[in-house]
């Protein structure tokens, strides 16, 4: 009995380890290859250790015509602006839906919620037309504007959270003469840190990773984001895999680090994100 239990535990670990290996393999291969020379890549097995260990690929990416450094800066800036815009607009709207009585509140909330059904892929073509008409195609703002005002999804999550804040706290502040903005800044936002942290992670991840819209709306290297730069490297230097893997490593590693730092809130944010 004891032995079969031991055996089944060992079997479970074996399966789990195999799964972990399959999951981590591509990441490790990408990182290993990024530190190899082209010669070593051509001559030795894909699984070989980098020898000599070189950062030449990264140097070429960041300083060469691919302008990968610029792409990283633009991606970070766009994600930050989207994050700040979304948080401010969503907090204001969520507070209105949670705590302010105004005509049409229910209807508008349902309109907001119903937009969650619209698949992003469907929006790409009409947004492209709108950005073209507005003269904003291939500009930094075309990356930011469509997402910077609000996320109905964030509003939904924040509203749920705000409804849990005791009304007495708000009333007490009101009696002390606080206006709506004071209440938001001094009471609601500080009490909602966990959900705001969650939304911050979701927003950063989804805009660092976003690809189709930036691919469509930008041309050339000027406003290229990291994913688009990676894709264009692949088609431009097809076969120069050490360089391309340096690009994928730069695209993947920041999020891996972020994930390992904030593991707990990440896992929670994925389950929250999915169940809304």
Is residue 96 near another protein by the rule CB under 8 A? yes
Contact 71, 229 (CB under 8 A): yes
Residues 117-156, interacting with another protein (CB under 8 A): 117-130, 132, 145-150, 152, 155
DSSP output for 11-67: HHHHHHHHHHHHHHHHHHHHHHHHTS-HHHHHHS-TTSPPSS---HHHHHHHHSTT-
Smallest gap, in angstroms, from Cβ of residue 94 to another protein?
9
Cα-Cα end-to-end distance for the chain:
45
Smallest gap, in angstroms, from Cβ of residue 172 to another protein?
18
- The angle subtended at Cα 213 by Cα 211 and Cα 219, nearest 5°, is 90
Contacts of 205 (CB under 8 A, 6+ apart): 255, 258
Smallest gap, in angstroms, from Cβ of residue 89 to another protein?
4
Is residue 59 near another protein by the rule CB under 8 A? no
Complex with another protein: residue 1 or 275, whichever CB lies closer: 275
**Quick one: DSSP state of residue 48?**
S
Q: How far apart are CA 245 and CA 233, in angstroms?
A: 10
SS3 219: coil
Is residue 267 near another protein by the rule CB under 8 A? yes
Is residue 107 near another protein by the rule CB under 8 A? no
Is residue 66 near another protein by the rule CB under 8 A? no
Of 85, 89, 91, whose CA–CA distance to 189 is shortest? 91
Residues 13-52, interacting with another protein (CB under 8 A): 13, 15-16, 19-20, 22-24, 26-27, 29-30, 33, 41-42, 45-47
Complex with another protein: residue 200 or 227, whichever CB lies closer: 227
- Distance (Å) of CA 252 to CA 27, 191, 204, 257: 8, 33, 13, 9
Task: Specify the stretch interacting with another protein by CB under 8 A; choose among 61-69, 82-90, 164-172, 186-194.
Answer: 82-90
Residues 206-265, interacting with another protein (CB under 8 A): 208-209, 211-212, 215-216, 226-227, 230-231, 234, 239, 241, 244-245, 247-248, 251-252, 255-256, 259-260, 263
How many residues bind another protein, per CB under 8 A? 92
Smallest gap, in angstroms, from Cβ of residue 247 to another protein?
8
Complex with another protein: residue 20 or 55, whichever CB lies closer: 20
Complex with another protein: residue 70 or 268, whichever CB lies closer: 268
Is it true that the peptide bond before 52 is cis, omega within 30 degrees of 0?
Answer: yes
Complex with another protein: residue 18 or 55, whichever CB lies closer: 18
Q: How far apart are CA 201 and CA 220, in angstroms?
A: 29
Smallest gap, in angstroms, from Cβ of residue 207 to another protein?
10
């Amino acid at each position: 009995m004891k032995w079969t239990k031991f055996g089944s535990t060992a079997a479970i670990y074996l399966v789990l380890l195999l799964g972990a290996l399959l999951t981590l393999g591509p990441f490790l291969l990408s990182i290993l290859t990024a530190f190899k020379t082209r010669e070593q890549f051509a001559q030795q097995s894909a699984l070989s250790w980098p020898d000599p260990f070189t950062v030449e690929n990264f140097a070429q990416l960041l300083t060469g015509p691919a302008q990968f450094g610029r792409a990283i800066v633009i991606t970070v800036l766009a994600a930050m602006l989207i994050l700040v815009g979304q948080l401010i607009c969503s907090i204001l709207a969520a507070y209105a839906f949670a705590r302010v009585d105004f005509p049409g509140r229910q209807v508008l909330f349902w309109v907001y919620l119903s937009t969650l059904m619209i698949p992003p892929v469907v929006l790409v073509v009409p947004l492209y037309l709108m950005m073209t008409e507005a003269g904003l195609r291939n500009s930094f703002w075309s990356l930011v504007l469509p997402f910077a005002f609000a996320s109905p999804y964030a509003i939904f999550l924040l509203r749920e959270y705000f409804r849990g804040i005791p009304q007495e706290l708000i009333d007490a502040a009101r009696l002390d003469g606080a206006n709506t903005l004071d209440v938001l800044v001094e009471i609601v936002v500080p009490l909602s840190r966990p959900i705001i942290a969650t939304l911050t992670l979701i927003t950063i991840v989804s805009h660092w990773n976003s690809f189709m819209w930036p691919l469509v709306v930008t041309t050339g290297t000027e406003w290229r984001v990291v994913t688009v730069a990676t894709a264009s490297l692949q088609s431009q230097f097809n076969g120069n895999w050490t360089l391309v893997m340096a690009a994928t490593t730069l695209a993947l590693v920041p999020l891996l680090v972020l994930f390992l730092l904030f593991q707990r809130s990440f896992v929670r944010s994925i389950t929250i994100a999915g169940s809304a």
